[in-house]
Chain A
Amino acid sequence: MIREQEQEMSMRFDSYPENEQFARMVVTAFLMDLNPTVDEMADVKTAVSEAVTNAIIHGYEDCVGQVSLTCRKHGKDVMVTVSDQGKGIADVERAREPFFTTKPEAERSGMGFCFMEAFMDEVHITSAEGRGTSVEMKKHLHLPAGE
């Protein structure tokens, strides 16, 4: 069954790493009724995890702040927005490059945005230094015919 009306949920949580799992669980539960494939659900979960981790590790590097997560579903389309009011990204284009990280000493892989791009159809990043970052991602689910 595909719901034609748009539905939205949003939440805010403190930037503790323990909340990464919580954010993934909420998104998973919210999208469950669209009946996505296991792979599609894992794609969205991974992308959410990457964006939330970035907000926690980079956005609120030396402090605890609030991370906002909004998820919308409309027909077969899923939109997720993760934003923070943290330090922002100095060079968004560089941040998107594979293996680029500002924290090599912390063993960051530099693959965060690459994973978001690999697993979602669209990824838009809006960032301003000192004011925060917002990542908006979209994915079109390919639900089986007749559902």
Chain B
Amino acid sequence: MEFLYETKTGSLRIFTPREIDECVASEMREEADMLIDNYQIRHLIFDFSNTEFMDSSGIGMLIGRSRKMGYIGGSVEAENLSERVQKIFTLAGLPKLITVVKEEQYD
């Protein structure tokens, strides 16, 4: 699977795919880490605009990236969460680790 992403001096925006399960999460983990190291990323943004489904494997991957960014003194944000993804975030306590940016159209 190919992931869409954008990098801008020190910042990386990953557009997460439609469904995030174990299979997808393990590929995202490798690709994100490679990009974080190669581009010396300090600010990581997960853009969930396209994501309709995520299970606990996605949670594991996000917690792992949040730790990695923590070690290197960086930050992690999540944007454009659907109601479903928001529910999964809340259930897993992710908002304590990752800043969830609320958009006006998502209220």
The interface bits of chain B over 26-52 (1 if a CB of A lies within 8 angstroms of the residue's CB, else 0) are: 100100000000000000000000000
Chain A contact residues, majority secondary structure: helix
Question: Which residues from A are CB-within-8-Å of B91?
Answer: 111, 114-115, 118
- Count of chain B residues with a beta carbon within 8 Å of a chain A beta carbon: 19
The interface bits of chain B over 10-40 (1 if a CB of A lies within 8 angstroms of the residue's CB, else 0) are: 0000000001011100100100000000000
Question: Which residues from B are CB-within-8-Å of A118?
Answer: 91
* Chain A, interface residues (CB within 8 Å), range: 20 to 34
Query: Contacts A109-B92, A111-B92 given: A53-B53 contact, CB under 8 Å?
Result: no
Using a CB–CB cutoff of 8 Å, the interface residues on chain B facing chain A are 19, 21-23, 26, 29, 53, 55-57, 59-61, 63-64, 84, 88, 91-92
Using a CB–CB cutoff of 8 Å, the interface residues on chain A facing chain B are 17-18, 20-21, 24, 39, 42, 45-46, 49-50, 53, 56-57, 106-112, 114-115, 118
